[in-house]
Chains A and B, each alone.
Chain A
Amino acid sequence: MKKLLLIALFLGSAQAYAAGDAGCGLGSMIIQKNSKGLQLLAMTTNSFFFTQPLGITSGTSNCSSRGLVMTDQEVQYFVEVNQEDLSREMAQGHGEKLATLAQMKGCQNSAAMKTFGSFTQASYSKIIPSAETTATELVQNLNRELSQQSDLAQLCHGT
């Protein structure tokens, strides 16, 4: 029975890892906009290329289903969208996006978030080892480094 559970656990984690590998495929958030000169006329259009239709019949992608982000892919999706800001906020140890990430990792109160910020500073080169680190790698590195933080685990329930 124990063996079976272990296998199930192993399979489960392997699957999670594989899904993580694929990422959400959101791509770079820097996009081309219409020329500045026409902004006057375009003042209220706000048309976008990565718009997804609202509703229940929207398709399913790696991280979202029917237009909503899957709960277990929340962190991956958030990091892919906000990798730029997060890389900066992890270095300075505070910021709104970092606080959101800390909350997703179970850190609720301000003391826990502060500790989370110090942790991302101290482990910065391990979480983001190079300028080319992808969002998927960032999430994996973050999870690995977090698992070695016993103080933080105590402060942040649910990690």
Chain B
Amino acid sequence: MVLRFLFVLMILTPSAGWSQDTALNSLKELAAAKKVSRSPQWLRLGHYRHKPLGGYESPLRGNFFIAPDGNTDPEAELNATIDLLFSDDSQKRFSQCRYLARTTWLKAVLNIPESRLATCSERDQWKEQLGATELYIIFASSDLNSAGSSFGHTFLRVHNPKNKKERELLDYGVNYAAITGTDGGALYALKGLFGFYPGAYSMLPYHQKIQEYSNLEGRSLWEYKLALSPLEVEFIINHLLELEGSFAPYFFLSDNCSQQIIELIEVAKPSIPLSDHFRGATIPLDTVKVLNSYGLLSDEKTRPSLQSEWRTRFAGLNRHQKSKLNELVKNNQPDLLSDLSSSEQAEVLEAGLSYLAVKSYRDRNDLKNEKYRLSVARAQLGSQTQPIILPRSKSPLLSPDSQALYLGYGANDELPYLRFKYRRAFHDILADDSGLSPFSHLEILSAEFRYFTETPRLDLHQLVILQSLSTVPVTQFEAPYSWKVDLGTQPKLLPYLHFGVGYSYDLPLLDASRVTLLAVADNHALTERPESFLGGELLFMSRLWNFRSIYSAKLLQDLQLGRGLIEHSFGVSYSPSKISFRLEGKLRESQPEWNISVSF
């Protein structure tokens, strides 16, 4: 019986195969005639990128490509896709459910008859439960802990219209991240810079993502609705399901979360060349700005971090309440508030609870008993307070571009020069800091040339690899460090490395003022006879309307020559828009230097 069955099968197979081949071949011919394998949509679906010397390559690894050379040959991949998805064999055809986005698009382009389409009820059910009709892009800014995280992070919120108002916390967050395991320290940084970690998509309830960012890391979130139709959103979800089981090497600077997120949006908007704006480095904040420049963003909304909530609550207390709060967090005795009115007590207790929440995330200590005691006392007071309203911060979309050009004129020890500077990234302390850490500086890769008009000669004045200053004010409750690291070459290619660490204090002057005291170590001419200095630096920074100023006085001891010296420098800027005008000067060992410049 079995033998007979096999015999019949053997006779039947060639003819069945032949008829299928013709059908598939005509589909492939149609695809070739329509140049489907070179269409933007097909290239986006495979995440193909142009190689510098011609041809294509996709960073995706894993089980994504069907053809053996599918990641470099879009045409071979298209033919393999047609063979697999639209085969006569219903078993093979079930792969349509594995490649939902490819199927949906090819079905329309190649006019695939219904008879060759599979039903994917399991996926349909899953998508129905997810219920996605809208996508939001979430930008996690830095709050104040580190200038570094000013670069930010982006991820998506998949919105189900059933989740109205506050229920939107039950939406899902889709995140692209490096899977780093438990590596730490320098190994982690190096592996990340050079693409040794796989990057992949993951999904968690949005409220769980908020835990990570606004509570754990103290980063405010900015949400923007993406201009995508429900069908385009479904197409992206289909594509995300296709990506299940595949990954791409994660590069911290280039192939990072934001690069993948914009490529994902390109899958639904193949005609918009979003990723063309980013080659070499993808800065999350820049991707949000590029999306905005194509009119893809609307409905800006901010979700303040736990830290901002705590700071707002603290600022709202009167002097007496503040001192009571200080006692309360030390002794954890709610009774000592008894001389305050009920509503004043409620405000102090709420601020105290806010503080304990921030502290427990910071110190990785749950402080259960302390929190519980204050909570019970607060609950007993009943309804006393209204939800606090946080001051609205300026949109990160309005911050100056991360790349900048500086053109200027100045004099060094009475020798006049013209100044040309290019900065790759990211933020200058004298520029507008909307959506960024206030009073911070983060400069990565910049070069300054000076043309001395009298000699005349052109000099490389300074090459910056990294210049960063992060200042966080000390308050009654917290004493975080402020720090700086400068690495580069000056003059010409003579390397230097400077460090500083200390504390900052906010002053109630002008719109905002901060004074920073740092212990500094300056090291010049590292490759020749190194010159090392130890000493202290005082920084005074302030802001009024669109004006910013910085003054620095450094008292340094030359370790080789055993003598002291003082260096003064200052800068004033006026930034009416993304263009900024500035005057900067320096006086070191009676050698004055100044310049005026414009940056944009």
Report which A residues bind B (CB closer than 8 A). Answer: 28-36, 38-57, 66-69, 71, 74, 77-78, 81-82, 84-85, 87-88, 90-97, 99-100, 103-104, 114, 117-118, 120-122, 124-125, 128, 130-132
Contact = CB atoms under 8 A, between A and B. Distances in A.
B151 A38 contact: no
A99 B105 CA distance: 41
B153 A87 contact: no
A42 B360 CA distance: 23
B290 interface: no
Contacts of A81: 205, 207-208, 211
A71 B128 CA distance: 13
B170 interface: yes
B346 A46 contact: no
Contacts of B252: 41-45
B169 A43 contact: no
B131 to A, nearest CB: 10
6 contacts: A44-B152, A46-B153, A54-B203, A67-B203, A68-B130, A68-B172
Contacts of B256: 44-45
Interface string B105-149: 000000000000000001100100110000000001000011111
Interface in B176-192: 177-180, 182, 184-186, 188-189, 192
B192 A42 contact: yes
A55 B241 contact: yes
Interface stretch (B67-75, B371-379, B532-540, B578-586): B371-379
Task: Name the residue in A31, A40, A53, A92 with the highest tally of chain B Cβ atoms < 10 Å from its Cβ.
Answer: A92
A73 B411 CA distance: 70
Nearest to B306: A85
A145 to B, nearest CB: 13
A128 B211 CA distance: 21
A32 B177 contact: no
B170 A74 contact: yes
Interface stretch (B315-323, B382-390, B395-403): B382-390
Interface of B: 122-123, 126, 129-130, 140, 145-153, 164-167, 169-170, 172, 174-175, 177-180, 182, 184-186, 188-189, 192-193, 197, 200-205, 207-208, 211-212, 215-217, 240-241, 243-245, 250, 252-253, 256-258, 284, 346, 349-350, 353-354, 357, 360-361, 364, 366, 368-369, 371-376, 378-380, 382-383, 385-387, 466, 468
B166 A53 contact: no
Contacts of B385: 92-94
Nearest to A77: B205
Task: Name the residue in B149, B169, B215, B387 with the highest tally of chain A Cβ atoms < 10 Å from its Cβ.
Answer: B169
A34 B217 CA distance: 11
A129 B149 CA distance: 40
B189 A55 contact: no
A56 B100 CA distance: 12
Contact of A103 (B167, B211, B258, B466): B167
A153 B533 CA distance: 72
Contact of A88 (B123, B200, B353): B353
Nearest to A121: B379
